[in-house]
Every structure is written in structure tokens, then in C-alpha cells.
């Protein structure tokens, strides 16, 4: 995991995501999830490209059940993009890096 992608909790979700001063990509994941591990290198690469414009965080759904439940996360990985405290876009499942990049650009 990249040092720049913070692991956040239900307790810190509001401060880290909803009150952030820039768009935020939240990666809802779990350690046992194969597709979550598979998409991780793409997310880390995009964080390097877009980290100055967008905040990247991860939420472990096993340890933090409130946030995924509040945002209707049914499957992982689910990436939810927040802008000004509101959902701007969402991706569920394993997707190509190009699709992630396109979504990030759309949110920015």
C-alpha cells in the first residue's frame, strides 16, 4: 500500500472525506478480497499522478461497517468519489486503470 493512501475508519470518515477541501476517492476493500488486491496497483499509480488534486483513502469494510452500509456498498472493491461532501461518482468491481483515470478526471 502506498504511504500516501491513508487507511481511515468510520470515526474519521466525516473529517477525512466529507469535510475534505479537495475531492476524495474512497476505496472500500477487505484484506481477503482478491479483486481489491488486483486493483490496488492501479489506484497507487493514479495516486502518484493525481494525489496533488485528489485525496485517496481506504476503508476496510470488515473493521468499519458503518460507512459502507451508509453508502450502500454491496460488493468490493467499491470506489466512491466524493466532491464537496457529496458522491460525485462510483465504481464497483475490478476495472481497468484507464477507466479509473477517466472517472478521476471527470470528478476533478
Q: For the domain that residue 85 is a member of, what is the CATH number?
A: 3.40.30.10
**Residue 75 belongs to a domain:** yes
Q: Which three cell numbers stand for residue 61?
A: 469494510
- pLDDT band of residue 2 (cuts 50, 70, 90) is low
Please give the tally of structural domains in the chain.
1
For the stretch 32-65, pLDDT in tens is 999 999 999 999 999 999 999 999 999 999 999 9
Beta strand pairing status for 24-29 and 55-60? Answer: parallel
In contact, 28 and 78? CB cutoff 8 Å: yes
Q: How many CA atoms lie within 13 A of 96 on its CB side?
A: 3
Q: What is the pLDDT of residues 86-108, one digit of tens each?
A: 999 999 999 999 999 999 999 99
* pLDDT bracket for residue 4 (50, 70, 90): confident
For 21, counting Cβ atoms within 10 Å of its Cβ (0-12 exposed, 13-18 middle, 19+ buried), the class is exposed
Residue 1 counted as domain residue: no
Using only C-alpha atoms, what is the Rg of the chain?
Answer: 12
Containing domain of residue 55, as a range? 6-107
Model-wide pTM > 0.85 = yes
What positions carry a catalytic annotation? 33, 36
Average pLDDT, the chain: 96
CA-to-CA distance for 8 and 104, rounded, in angstroms? 20
In a domain, 52, yes or no: yes
Report if residue 99 sits inside a domain.
Answer: yes
Amino acid at each position: 500500500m502506498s504511504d500516501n493512501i491513508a487507511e481511515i475508519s468510520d470515526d474519521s470518515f466525516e473529517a477525512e472525506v466529507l469535510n475534505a477541501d479537495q475531492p476524495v476517492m474512497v476505496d472500500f476493500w477487505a484484506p481477503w478480497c482478491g479483486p481489491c488486491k488486483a486493483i490496488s496497483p492501479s489506484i497507487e499509480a493514479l495516486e502518484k499522478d493525481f494525489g496533488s488534486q485528489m485525496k485517496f483513502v481506504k476503508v476496510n469494510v470488515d473493521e468499519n461497517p458503518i460507512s459502507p452500509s451508509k453508502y450502500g456498498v454491496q460488493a468490493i472493491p467499491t470506489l466512491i468519489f466524493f466532491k464537496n461532501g457529496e458522491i460525485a461518482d462510483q465504481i464497483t468491481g475490478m476495472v481497468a486503470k484507464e477507466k479509473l483515470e477517466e472517472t478521476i478526471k471527470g470528478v476533478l
